[in-house]
Structure 1
Amino acid sequence: MPLFGSSSSRSLCGNHEESNEERFYKNLNNWELPRVPISQIYKQRSSSFKTDYTIETIEKTIPLSKKQETVPLLLLSKRSIKKHSRSYKYLHFGLVQVAIKPLSKESLNTSILLGLRDCRFLDFKDSPLTIKTNLCNGPVYFDYYPNYSVSLQDAHEVLTLNIRTGSLPVALIYTVHFKAMTSPFRPKALRSS
């Protein structure tokens, strides 16, 4: 759905004209990350390896700050990792989706610097993905297909999001599609970034 409609549309509730700003906020509140079915991430077949497909979606509001600061966010919760560690030894990351929505008025200069990092690499330049964008026209999102397995013992520290915002608040939504496995081999991923 496009974020902006035509400049004058009739409301279904009455005969008054809905302003661009009202439409912007309405569309922004209803905006969600596009759903990606497991069948587009992993080849599903019966096998002798025990697996568990999981999709974890988290929405966080990044608070207003007076200065530009980098906020690191762990992608997986310790609770989720603990749950899977009872039956599995490895996680395979199939897809990470990240979206940023402005929590400010339409067309304000809301610049963002976002990096998806693998914390096992010390140099920030080795990050799999870094984007710099402006949210003046609405939400921005990306899909990243890491296609690698990690031990459950350090899974919560592997992929992190580092976000640097200006002085305007934003909402960060991210979804991690992963597969818990007993073996680190043959995850049957269909895509790789």
Structure 2
Amino acid sequence: MSSENSIFQDNQSLSSFRKSNTSKIDGLYEITHIPEAEKSPIKEYVQSSKFYQHFLPATEQEQFVTLELPSHLPRIWLSKGYTHLHFGAVRFALTAHGRKGLPTVARLALLDTRYADYQHACIGTVETTLNAGTILVTMFPNFNMSISDPQLLTALKFQIQIVGAVPTGITYGATLHYQMVYRIPNHALDFVTPQSTEDALFLQMETDHPSCIYVPRQIPRNELLKLIPDTWLTSYEQHHQNSKNAQPIQSTTHHF
């Protein structure tokens, strides 16, 4: 009797083995080991541009200013094995050339001009009075571009409009200073931005000593129109369409 039980148990085990052996394989993974000698080391360095200055003619029309990058640098970066440029921070200062206390108002937007629609191109905007002196702002675009990208040197632009007490005649009404801080890596990894500041797209500065730090977020076009005049959007989009002619579209309409 015991031998029969043993045979019965063996048959059960064999049946169970056969059943498990014919079960379906849901996934198959292959792990490949890369030798240390063949691994490409991650490398990067942080660099800042010089503090550029751009003289703004005295006008109430919109003006577009391209943020400059030296044209010889991409070739040097590529020759050293770097592949991307990460736009980390853009800091700028705007100073009106007039006595303190004048009712002068400025609106400035940082744009990624690779996009045709304004709500996609707009990284951030600032509206401020200039009666108290120089205003200082820092924005964090936080995106990568390939060093081989043909638009690398011209992608970022400022859109500026100054109204109110604006001088007449041939003279400069203000000076824009700006500086870019960027990483040059051999990869395309972004930084994680603070979540608590992602609602700061539009900045209004009315203090005597304005200075702020900014992190951008995406905003729909209908919400953007509540903050920015529609002429700004259409002027930019026309400028984008006609950029090959190198003639900026200007508008004298303002809504301050």
TM-score normalised according to structure 2 size: 0.51
State the distance in 2 between where 1:140 and 1:54 align. Answer: 24
Residue equivalent to 1:41 = none
Letter in 2 for 1:134: T
Partner residue of 2:46 out of 42, 46, 53: 53
Distance verdict in 2 for CA 1:153–1:164, change over 3 Å: farther
Residue equivalent to 1:134 = 129
Residue equivalent to 2:160 = 163
**By how many angstroms is 1:152 displaced?**
1.2
Letter in 2 for 1:115: A
Residue equivalent to 2:183 = 179
Q: Does 1:105 align with 2:102?
A: no
Q: Does 1:123 align with 2:117?
A: yes
Letter in 2 for 1:184: A
Letter in 1 for 2:87: F
Residue equivalent to 2:197 = none
Is the 1:92–1:179 Cα contact (8 Å) retained in structure 2? Answer: yes
State the distance in 2 between where 1:94 and 1:66 align. Answer: 31
Distance verdict in 2 for CA 1:161–1:86, change over 3 Å: farther
* 2:72 partner SS: helix
**By how many angstroms is 1:164 displaced?**
2.1
**By how many angstroms is 1:116 displaced?**
0.3
Larger-Rg structure: 2
Residue equivalent to 2:12 = none
**By how many angstroms is 1:142 displaced?**
1.5
Distance verdict in 2 for CA 1:63–1:118, change over 3 Å: closer
Is the 1:101–1:172 Cα contact (8 Å) retained in structure 2? Answer: yes
**By how many angstroms is 1:171 displaced?**
1.6
- Identical pairs, percent: 22
* 1:85 partner SS: helix
Letter in 2 for 1:116: L
Aligned alpha-carbon RMSD (Å) = 2.3
**By how many angstroms is 1:151 displaced?**
0.7
Distance verdict in 2 for CA 1:66–1:178, change over 3 Å: closer
State the distance in 2 between where 1:66 and 1:190 align. Answer: 39
Structure 2 residue ranges without an equivalent (≥5)? 1-39, 168-172, 195-214, 216-256
Q: Which has the higher contact order (CA 8 A, sep 6+)?
A: 1
**By how many angstroms is 1:124 displaced?**
2.1
State the distance in 1 between where 2:61 and 2:187 align. Answer: 42
- Equivalent pairs counted in the alignment come to 145
Distance verdict in 2 for CA 1:113–1:77, change over 3 Å: farther
State the distance in 1 between where 2:65 and 2:54 align. Answer: 13
Letter in 2 for 1:70: Q
State the distance in 1 between where 2:92 and 2:99 align. Answer: 21
Partner residue of 2:69 out of 71, 76, 95: 76
State the distance in 1 between where 2:74 and 2:51 align. Answer: 15
Bigger fraction of residues in helix: 2
